[in-house]
Amino acid sequence: MKVFGLASVRPTVPGAGRTEGVGVPVVLDNVSKRYETLGEPVQAVDDVSLTCNPGEFLAVLGPSGCGKSTILLLVAGLVPLTGGTISIGGTVVSKPYTNLGMVFQEAVLLDWRRVMSNVLLQVEMRGLNRKAYRSRAQQLIDLVGLTGFEDSYPFELSGGMRQRVSICRALLHDPPLLLMDEPFGALDALTRDKLNLDLQQIWLASRKTVFFVTHSIAEAVFLADRVVVLSPRPCTVEEILDIDLPRPRDHSVRETPEFGRYASEIRHIFASLGIL
């Protein structure tokens, strides 16, 4: 993938707000979430407190069903809290927070729209000027290596390519915060490794705050500044590890003793929780 400073893609887009393009802090303070159901209520999140610093890449790691997606939905203001508070850039989240980009496990694309049109969906949803954002969309498409596929339909793309389109769409409006929910979980190992590299490059060039949910220990250690290790449901914060590996990281870092030590430390935490 061609790397170019997002500086060249970044600001000066009409409609850009004051905080756009710059990472914002995200603070979770004693956050809890209980889902009411027809049967027993489900306590998904229990008293989670953590801070994601401006421009930080934070990986949230936990076993399946522990409450990771719930935490992202809470941060985005898409489901209501049952306890605690969340603030983004100092503002308490009390309704859907729109100045962010979201990427889900499966690329959520509109099958009847071409790649460019799927990326530009963002400007339609936000009432922005389509013409003004078209060149930024093209730059992002180039950035993720999809040049030449602008007019393709989603069914003509591989899973990895579809996920790249989702990433372009999440970045189009240059949000200061990116929420990613196991974005590469459904991809083959090689594509996943490649997208890990690409994402790191995008992040290094733009320094957005990234909240990255995964259940891959290796992916978390490779990408993150810090890894938040969650317990099984209801999730609480078990441990927060600083990942002090130099950047940019390439895949050879996975073979270093330091990388092995971080991964092993996390495995021990999961073992002590009875997960491994």
**CB contact at 8 A, 146 and 115:** yes
The letter for the amino acid at 73 is L
| 70 touches ligand ATP (CB under 6 A) | yes
**Residue 70's binding partner out of Mg ion, ligand ATP, none, with CB under 5 to 8 Å set by partner kind:** ligand ATP
Backbone Cα Rg of the chain? 18
Stretch that binds ligand ATP, among 8-16, 59-67, 131-139, 264-272 (CB under 6 A): 59-67
| 153 touches ligand ATP (CB under 6 A) | no
Is 24 or 44 the residue whose CB approaches Mg ion more closely? Answer: 44
DSSP-assigned beta bridge partners for residue 58: 211, 226
| 76 touches ligand ATP (CB under 6 A) | no
| 69 touches Mg ion (CB under 5 A) | yes
The letter for the amino acid at 159 is G
Residue 137, sorted as left (phi over 0), alpha (psi -120 to 50) or beta, turns out to be alpha
Is 105 or 139 the residue whose CB approaches Mg ion more closely? Answer: 105
Phi (first) and psi of residue 55, to 5 degrees: 80, 5
Among 42, 78, 237, 253, binds ligand ATP (CB under 6 A): 42
Q: What do you get for the CA distance between the two ends of the chain, in Å?
A: 36
| Helices 159-171 and 189-206, axial angle in degrees (round to 10) | 20
| 69 touches ligand ATP (CB under 6 A) | yes
Output the smallest distance, CB 250 to ligand ATP, in A: 27
DSSP-assigned beta bridge partners for residue 179: 102, 211
| 62 touches ligand ATP (CB under 6 A) | yes
| 48 touches ligand ATP (CB under 6 A) | no
Is 68 or 226 the residue whose CB approaches ligand ATP more closely? Answer: 68
| 67 touches ligand ATP (CB under 6 A) | yes
Question: Which helix (DSSP H) or strand (DSSP E) does residue 27 occupy?
Answer: strand 26-35
Q: Alpha-carbon distance 127 to 98, whole Å? A: 12
**Residue 42's binding partner out of Mg ion, ligand ATP, none, with CB under 5 to 8 Å set by partner kind:** ligand ATP
**Residue 231's binding partner out of ligand ATP, Mg ion, none, with CB under 5 to 8 Å set by partner kind:** none
The letter for the amino acid at 269 is I
Residues that bind Mg ion (CB under 5 A): 69
Query: Which spans of this chain sit near ligand ATP (rule: CB under 6 A)?
Result: 35, 37, 42, 44, 62, 64-70, 215, 233
